[in-house]
Structure 1
Amino acid sequence: MNAATPRTTAGLKVSALSDREIRMTRIFDAPRDLVFDAFTKPDLIKRWMYGPEGWSLPVCEVELKAGGKMRYVWKHKDGTSMGMSGVFREIKRPSRIVHNETFDEDWTGGETLVTTLFTATGGQTLVEQTVLYSSQAARDAVLKSPMEDGIAKGYDRLDKILAQ
């Protein structure tokens, strides 16, 4: 894929914003407060943010405040695990979250900065995530990884949870 060409997977639109940034957008058919909760409450996060089938999210810790820490550890049924830690820089309920992320096995080339916006649009919620990577090479590697498919599958699960 040309990094400048937007692509859509199951309602998830992924596009390159700059040589170090990507933006992912998706509309959810649910109120903004509920979608915000699904991104910030561990009991909800564990139900949808585990990526492709075969994975789970047994560790999901969220201290939702500026300066608060987060910790996720994904596990695959084959025993493989992937951990990530971060710190919340800004929380504006229910419209904005800014945090950094660093993976235990650094496959993204260093710390990333993630800005997530939640915009109410007539009973639905537009979620826009902008991710700033340490380099263009890191951004390009992420765009070539299966990350997009895992996020799309997670967002499909989130859609079903929000409909309940």
Structure 2
Amino acid sequence: MTRTTETTIEADRDVPIVRITREFAATREQLFRAHTDPVLFARWIGPDAGDTRIEHWDARTGGSWRFVSVHDGVEFAFHGCFHEVRPDRIVQTFTFEGEPDGVALETLWFDDLGDGRARLRTQSLVDSFESRDAWLASGMEGGVNEGYAKLERMIADGAV
């Protein structure tokens, strides 16, 4: 039986940062693989109502990526660069192409909790409090929660 956990999304009051935390019934290695394997990533990222197409994916230090999410026939493209990729941490940029000046610096940590459990922590630093608040108001919470629920099902089914 898989234990579903809640996602915590927090806005820092002093710095324009969004922090997301969630525990999974998975190993740190499984979470890392789900974030670096383009086939797996495309299966879980984003809300249930959309599909994701990977355009480019080079998950290594110095690599880059681009994917397109399709919702009701409308495409939303995202791209970035992998600044550091290692088993316990990924540092990358993240840009929604609809707002090309809004580049975020993201850090993802994969924490081993033992007993086949791991915690994913992410931090996204954006250029202003207005940008951060726009992210939070965009409906991202629903997409994040639905995406992580898909990832939990994939882990439970042995796909990751």
> Displacement of 1:54 after TM fit?
2.3
Aligned residues: 151
Q: Which amino acid aligns with 1:48?
A: W
1:119 has 2:114 as partner? no
1:15 has 2:10 as partner? yes
Q: Which amino acid aligns with 1:84?
A: F
1:110 counterpart residue number: 102
> Displacement of 1:52 after TM fit?
2.2
1:43 has 2:39 as partner? yes
Q: Which amino acid aligns with 1:54?
A: A
Q: Spell out, residue by residue over 1:83-126, the C-alpha distance to the aligned partner (whole angstroms, 9 max, x if none).
A: 0110011111x20000001111108x511000000000012110
Identity %: 34
| Unaligned 5+ runs, structure 1 | 1-9
Q: Spell out, residue by residue over 1:112-161, the C-alpha distance to the aligned partner (whole angstroms, 9 max, x if none).
A: 00000000001211000000001010001111120011010000010010
Q: Which amino acid aligns with 1:116?
A: L
Q: Spell out, residue by residue over 1:27-61, the C-alpha distance to the aligned partner (whole angstroms, 9 max, x if none).
A: 01011111110111011111111x22321002253
Question: Residues of 2 paired with 1:61 and 1:27: CA distance?
Answer: 28
Q: Which amino acid aligns with 1:24?
A: I
| Unaligned 5+ runs, structure 2 | none
1:137 counterpart residue number: 130
TM-score by length of 1: 0.87
Of 86, 89, 94, the residue aligned with 1:96 is 89
Give the 3 Å change call, closer, same or farther, for CA 54–13 of structure 1 in structure 2: same
Is the CA contact (8 Å cut-off) linking 1:22 and 1:131 kept in structure 2? yes
Is the CA contact (8 Å cut-off) linking 2:19 and 2:124 kept in structure 1? yes
Question: Residues of 2 paired with 1:24 and 1:151: CA distance?
Answer: 9
TM-score by length of 2: 0.89
Cα RMSD (Å): 1.4
